[in-house]
């Protein structure tokens, strides 16, 4: 059967009250994506012709969040009739009338389900020629899950929800995961016949299984190899557990690809992060968003990088960076803070207790310690002394500072933007630079040192105290 004969329906209408959150449940995030974002990414891997998402609670927020994840998806609004059966009924009605392929039904709060498992489910469904095929799991504790009731032929007869199950049925360990494949024609015929005669008063999609069997059609099932892949997220504890499981998968995949991760338990890596071979990730490191790490780079310990690019052979230690670029063989930290727009050139350095923002630092240039550099451009081979700052804000507007190549600033320099320092210039210690400095010039702005001898004795006499160092002076200044 053609790949284009597939539609995916994602159920995302639930309120998720157990999350106790103002954020819709499916928009909570793990590993850098929303729960429904993970589901939609998995759905895309199946190359479906159509994707329909059923929404209701916080409808506008959910639609806005998923628009980028799956361009061209069909948004379906669930009406006042509750239940998954009604949600799928509305979704199928929104598909093109001529669509006659297979319909995969996924839950928007099951982020760990992977494309490989769904491919096995589809293969099983198509090879069996079934009207429907269920993805099931074997659980030691099946509390809360619908139980799979099989006939003597081993096929699925029906699903009974936990609330409606007898004590004997609740002993069954095989459960419904909420993931299905239906033949579209069979599903369209079954959905209108689903009633709401159950403990919850809802139209259960699970009742479609019994209807199909009553029509003499076959319903198959495939048992998932990994039950954790089918776990839904209903509260904050399950959210944390899902992220732990997903993070372990991500970390292991990087390790098998040639990355050294010293402590997987304290290393958190988002799903869209890329890491080059022979890179080393030290304990306490978080790699977020679309961060990329080059080959042979060392990151950590205790480092958080968000949407940051780290070049080959670079080192980043005990630092925080967002939307920054760190060049080949550059070093950052410890205790550096790279804000958005920071670009550090090859072999450059941003050192201890340095903050940078919207700044380009050239090849081999160094900002070693105790400095703030914002809205600036620095050429190649320059060195900023300790406690150099760019005073870039005049209270109304931000201004840029331009520092040339091979410039050396002294200790405790303030560069009041807008200002330009020419190539090969030197700034004296303590200088406050308010005017441009020509190339090769020395700029100083501090007054000459003056020593006033006898000052301490003068102060003592003026206050009626004994002169310092005299026998009458109190020891220790007392």
Q: pLDDT of 308-348, one tens digit each?
A: 999 999 999 999 999 999 999 999 999 999 999 999 999 99
Query: What's the confidence (pLDDT) of residue 153?
Result: 81
Pairing of β 132-138 and β 174-183: antiparallel
Spatial distance between the Cα atoms of 19 and 238, rounded to a whole number of angstroms: 9
Return the minimum-mean-pLDDT range out of 209-223, 332-346, 455-469: 455-469
Q: What is the pLDDT of residues 71-92, one digit of tens each?
A: 789 999 999 989 999 999 999 9
Q: How open is the CA angle 312-314-316, to the nearest 5 degrees?
A: 140
Residues in Cβ contact with 315 at an 8 Å cutoff, skipping those fewer than 6 apart: 297, 298, 299, 330, 331, 332, 333
Query: What's the confidence (pLDDT) of residue 25?
Result: 95
Active site residue 369: yes
Omega before residue 111 within 30° of 0, cis: no
Query: What's the confidence (pLDDT) of residue 141?
Result: 85
Whether pLDDT at 129 is above 80: yes
Q: What is the pTM of this model?
A: 0.89
* pLDDT more than 70, % of the chain: 96
Query: What's the confidence (pLDDT) of residue 145?
Result: 84
Q: Which helix (H) or strand (E) holds 261?
A: strand 260-261
49 versus 197: the higher-pLDDT residue is 49
Query: What's the confidence (pLDDT) of residue 186?
Result: 96
Segments in 289-421 forming alpha helices (H): none
Given 38, 125, 369, 399, which residue is catalytic? 369
Do 45 and 35 contact (CB within 8 A), yes or no? no
Q: What is the pLDDT of residues 422-450, one digit of tens each?
A: 999 999 999 999 999 999 999 999 888 88
Segments in 404-466 forming alpha helices (H): 455-463
265 versus 68: the higher-pLDDT residue is 265
437-443: long-range pairs with CB below 8 Å, 24+: 439/404
Architecture of domain 259-443: 3 Solenoid (2.160)
Class of 3-230 in CATH: alpha beta
Domain positions in the chain are 3-230, 259-443
């Amino acid at each position: 059967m053609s790949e284009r004969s597939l539609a995916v329906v994602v159920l995302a209408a639930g309120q998720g009250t157990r999350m106790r959150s103002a954020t819709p449940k499916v928009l909570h995030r793990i590993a850098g994506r929303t729960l429904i974002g993970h589901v939609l990414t998995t759905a895309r891997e199946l190359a479906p012709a159509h994707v329909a998402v059923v929404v209701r609670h916080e409808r506008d927020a959910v639609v806005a969040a998923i628009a980028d994840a799956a361009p061209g998806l069909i948004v379906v609004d669930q009406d006042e009739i509750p239940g998954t059966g009604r949600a799928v009924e509305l979704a199928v009605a929104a598909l093109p009338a001529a669509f006659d392929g297979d319909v995969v039904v996924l839950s928007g709060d099951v982020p760990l389900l992977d494309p490989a498992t769904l491919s096995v489910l589809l293969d099983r469904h198509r090879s069996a020629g079934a009207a429907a095929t269920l993805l099931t799991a074997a659980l030691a504790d099946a509390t809360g899950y619908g139980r799979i009731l099989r006939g003597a032929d081993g096929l699925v007869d029906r699903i009974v929800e936990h609330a409606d199950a007898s004590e004997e049925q609740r002993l069954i360990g095989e459960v419904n995961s909420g993931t299905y494949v239906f033949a579209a024609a069979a599903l369209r015929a079954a959905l209108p016949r689903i009633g709401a005669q159950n403990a919850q008063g809802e139209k259960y999609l699970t009742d479609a299984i019994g209807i199909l069997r009553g029509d003499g059609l076959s319903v198959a099932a495939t048992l998932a190899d990994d039950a954790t892949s089918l776990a839904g997220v209903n509260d904050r504890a399950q959210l944390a557990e899902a992220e732990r499981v997903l993070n372990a998968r991500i970390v292991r995949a990087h390790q098998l690809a040639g990355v050294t991760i010293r402590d997987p338990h304290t290393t958190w890596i988002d799903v869209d992060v890329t890491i080059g071979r022979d890179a080393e990730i030290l304990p306490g490191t978080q790699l977020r968003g679309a961060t990329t790490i080059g080959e042979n780079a060392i990151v950590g310990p205790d480092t958080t990088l968000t949407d940051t690019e780290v070049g080959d052979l670079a080192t980043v230690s005990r630092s925080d960076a967002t939307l920054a670029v760190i060049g080949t063989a550059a070093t950052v930290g410890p205790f550096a803070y790279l804000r958005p727009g920071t670009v550090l050139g090859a072999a450059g350095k941003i050192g201890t207790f340095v903050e940078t923002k919207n700044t380009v630092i050239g090849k081999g240039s160094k900002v070693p310690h105790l400095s703030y550099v914002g809205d600036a451009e620095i050429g190649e081979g320059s060195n900023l002394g300790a406690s150099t700052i760019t005073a870039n804000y005049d209270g109304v507007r931000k201004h840029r500072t331009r520092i040339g190549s091979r410039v050396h600033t002294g200790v405790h320099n303030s560069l009041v933007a807008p200002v330009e320092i020419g190539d090969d210039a030197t700034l004296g210690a303590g200088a406050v630079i308010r005017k441009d400095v020509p190339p090769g010039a020395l700029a100083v702005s501090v007054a000459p040192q003056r020593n006033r001898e006898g000052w301490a004795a003068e102060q003592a006499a003026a206050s009626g105290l004994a002169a310092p160092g005299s026998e009458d002076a109190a020891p220790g200044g007392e």
